[in-house]
């Protein structure tokens, strides 16, 4: 019997493949629901994702396993709206929005040369072997800086856009992961499911089968052949898969956790006014990085008015009123009637370090998986789960 600890995306994916391969397994999860870091709270007519997240149906692991049509996905516009010091201007991808071709020839941000460089970069990324990513041994910051973009397009668009994905300001994240993400945004698009981001793990939960998951079981100790829970229960296990976060995994393995964490805070507001379906980037704020009008993209996110999500990078959190004052600097009168709803502090959003293909076993019959063993994304978490399931099925 295989025992998987953790019903996050990696543990669920591992279970889904084990089930397909006819291997017996049980997943034990400490909380009462699937998804780990991918979760949505449905409250007062709103769908609050725990931190701003988007789903890309073109991820290779998603295409391999999920039936994305079941998720009722709605797309953001490609590109972004960027605050240029005076107003928001859009940066569009003319291949996805042909009507914007003239703007590309005379862009409001950056130069025509920047657009050609973006095109060149997308062609280079298209040639990447996305099934076998390797570290580039170069930071995303240094890669982008060395690519020859103008300071304007870097500071107003590329840096804030990537900061919002990597949740770090210095962009030390490996350039190989940046190229993968850039490729995914070119091949696919950012979407929101009709039931909120939690629909993704719920879809996986159906594939795994609810009877194969035990919720509200927190593992306190693992031994070679058995697992001990905080409620005192014990179960035998031939093979143990640690699909919990790296901190807990290191504890169980008696090791020092070297992965680290990246944090974010998301503040939700209601707006009586609708906005465009872009991601709005705020390059020069020390409090907020990006804003999205979720229910203008996916109507189901709000019963009335627009659900606005405002995100900051790092652990510092602020009062809703402080964030609203900050938004007023950029949205002016457009946000005068916003009302603060709720905020979420996500102390562990992404692993600070990750290494491709590091899932596996360090102790006989005890294996570990998770996004930090590939790259910090839904795709990375799914890939680690699939690769281990394939190994256990041999
Ligand atoms: C705010 C935010 C934004 C993000 N944005 C995106 C995005 O736009 N696109 C993208 O691709 N990815 C995004 N990600 C990353 C993506 O969500 C993660 O990479 C992925 O969900 C990680 O899954 P996992 O299985 O590795 O880990 P986790 O989700 O952390 O799962 C670990 C599970 O183990 C359980 N567990 C821990 N300890 C125990 C124990 N002792 N006993 C039993 N169970 C235990 C936990 O409760 C949890 O369910 C984002 C993440 C966050 C938080």
Q: Is the beta carbon of 31 within 6 A of some atom in ligand 1?
A: yes
Mutation choice for ligand 1 from 187, 263, 268, 377, CB with most ligand atoms inside 8 A: 377
Q: Residue 4 has what pLDDT?
A: 98
Taking the CA of residue 372 as reference, the ligand 1 atom at the shortest distance is 26
Q: Residue 104 has what pLDDT?
A: 61
Cα of 53 from ligand 1 centre, angstroms: 12
- Interacting residues of 223 by C-beta distance below 8 A, sequence separation 6+: none
Q: What is the pLDDT of residues 118-141, one digit of tens each?
A: 999 999 999 999 999 999 999 999
Tokens of 238: 């031939």
Query: Can you tell me whether residue 174 is helix, strand or coil?
Result: strand
What values do phi and psi take at 159, rounded to 5?
-65, -50
Q: Is the beta carbon of 369 within 6 A of some atom in ligand 1?
A: no
Q: Residue 198 has what pLDDT?
A: 98
Residue nearest (by alpha carbon) to ligand 1 atom 3: 53
Cα of 100 from ligand 1 centre, angstroms: 37
Q: Residue 264 has what pLDDT?
A: 98
Q: Residue 87 has what pLDDT?
A: 95
Q: Is the beta carbon of 61 within 6 A of some atom in ligand 1?
A: no
- Interacting residues of 87 by C-beta distance below 8 A, sequence separation 6+: none
Residue nearest (by alpha carbon) to ligand 1 atom 15: 377
- Interacting residues of 109 by C-beta distance below 8 A, sequence separation 6+: 82, 84, 89, 91, 152, 153, 156, 157
Q: Write down the H helix ranges in the chain.
A: 9-20, 60-65, 101-105, 112-126, 140-146, 151-153, 159-166, 175-187, 199-208, 246-253, 294-297, 320-331, 378-393
Query: Long-range contacts of range 110-119, CB-CB < 8 Å, 24 or more positions apart?
Result: 110/149, 110/150, 110/152, 110/153, 110/156, 110/157, 111/150, 111/152, 111/153, 113/150, 114/149, 114/150, 114/152, 114/153, 117/147, 117/148, 117/149
Q: Is the beta carbon of 219 within 6 A of some atom in ligand 1?
A: yes
CA–CA distance, 199 with 66 (Å, rounded to integer): 11
Q: Is the beta carbon of 351 within 6 A of some atom in ligand 1?
A: no
Q: Is the beta carbon of 174 within 6 A of some atom in ligand 1?
A: no
Cα of 337 from ligand 1 centre, angstroms: 34
Q: Residue 92 has what pLDDT?
A: 82
- Interacting residues of 20 by C-beta distance below 8 A, sequence separation 6+: none
Residue 157 DSSP class? I
CA–CA distance, 192 with 217 (Å, rounded to integer): 30
- Interacting residues of 256 by C-beta distance below 8 A, sequence separation 6+: 250
Question: Beta partners for 46?
Answer: 43, 302
Q: Is the beta carbon of 201 within 6 A of some atom in ligand 1?
A: no
0.75 surpassed by pTM: yes
Query: Measuring CA to CA, which residue among 168, 114, 119 is closest to residue 140?
Result: 168
Q: Is the beta carbon of 204 within 6 A of some atom in ligand 1?
A: no
Q: At what angle do helices 378-393 and 9-20 cross, to 10 degrees?
A: 40
Q: Is the beta carbon of 349 within 6 A of some atom in ligand 1?
A: yes
Residue nearest (by alpha carbon) to ligand 1 atom 49: 36
Taking the CA of residue 266 as reference, the ligand 1 atom at the shortest distance is 1
> Going residue by residue through the chain (394 aa), what tens digit of pLDDT does each one get?
899 999 999 999 999 999 999 999 999 999 999 999 999 999 999 999 999 999 999 999 999 999 999 999 999 999 999 999 999 999 987 676 656 655 665 678 889 999 999 999 999 999 999 999 999 999 999 999 999 999 999 999 999 999 999 999 999 999 999 999 999 999 999 999 999 999 999 999 999 999 999 999 999 999 878 999 999 999 999 999 999 999 999 999 888 888 999 999 999 999 999 999 999 999 999 999 999 999 999 999 999 999 999 999 999 999 999 999 999 999 999 999 999 999 999 999 999 999 998 888 778 899 999 999 999 999 999 999 999 999 999 9
What angle is formed at CA 61 by the lines to CA 55 and CA 65, rounded to 5 degrees? 95
Strands 213-214 and 25-28: parallel
Q: Residue 109 has what pLDDT?
A: 87
Q: Which domains does the chain have, with CATH numbers?
A: 2-39+198-258+353-393 (3.50.50.60), 60-75+261-351 (3.90.660.20), 96-187 (no CATH)
């Amino acid at each position: 019997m295989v025992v998987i600890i953790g019903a996050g995306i990696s543990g669920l994916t591992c279970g889904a493949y084990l089930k397909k391969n006819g291997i017996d397994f049980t997943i034990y999860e400490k909380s009462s629901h699937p998804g780990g870091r991918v979760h949505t709270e449905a409250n007062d007519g709103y769908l609050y994702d725990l931190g701003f997240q988007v789903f890309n149906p073109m991820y290779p692991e998603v295409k391999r396993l999920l039936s994305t049509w079941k998720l009722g996905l709605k797309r953001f516009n490609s590109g972004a709206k960027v605050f240029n010091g005076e107003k928001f201007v859009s940066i569009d991808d003319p291949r996805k929005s042909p009507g914007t071709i003239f703007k590309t020839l005379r862009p409001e941000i950056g130069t025509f040369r920047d657009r050609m460089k973006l095109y060149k970069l997308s062609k280079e990324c298209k040639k990447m072997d996305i099934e076998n990513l390797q570290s580039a041994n170069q930071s995303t910051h240094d890669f982008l800086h060395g690519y020859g973009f103008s300071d304007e397009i870097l500071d107003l668009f590329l840096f804030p856009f990537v900061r919002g994905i990597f949740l770090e300001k210095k962009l030390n994240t490996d350039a190989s992961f940046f190229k993968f993400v850039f490729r995914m945004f070119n091949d696919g698009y950012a979407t929101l499911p009709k039931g909120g981001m939690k629909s993704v793990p719920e879809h996986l939960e159906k594939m795994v089968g609810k009877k194969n998951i035990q919720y509200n079981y927190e593992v306190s100790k693992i031994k070679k052949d058995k697992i001990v829970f905080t409620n005192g229960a014990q179960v035998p296990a031939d093979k143990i898969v640690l699909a919990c976060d790296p901190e807990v995994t290191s504890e169980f393995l008696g090791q020092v956790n070297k992965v680290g964490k990246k944090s974010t805070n998301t503040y939700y507001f209601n707006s009586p006014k609708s906005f465009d379906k872009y991601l709005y980037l705020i390059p020069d704020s020390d409090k907020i990085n990006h804003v999205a009008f979720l229910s203008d993209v996916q109507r189901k996110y709000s019963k009335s008015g627009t659900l606005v999500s405002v995100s900051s990078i790092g652990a510092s959190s602020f009062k809703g009123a402080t964030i609203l004052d900050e938004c007023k600097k950029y949205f002016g009168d457009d946000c005068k009637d916003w009302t603060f709803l709720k905020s979420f502090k996500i102390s562990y959003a992404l692993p600070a370090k990750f290494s491709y293909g590091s899932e596996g076993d360090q102790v006989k019959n005890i294996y570990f998986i998770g996004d930090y063993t590939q790259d910090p994304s839904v795709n990375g978490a799914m890939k680690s789960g699939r690769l281990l399931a394939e190994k256990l099925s041999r």
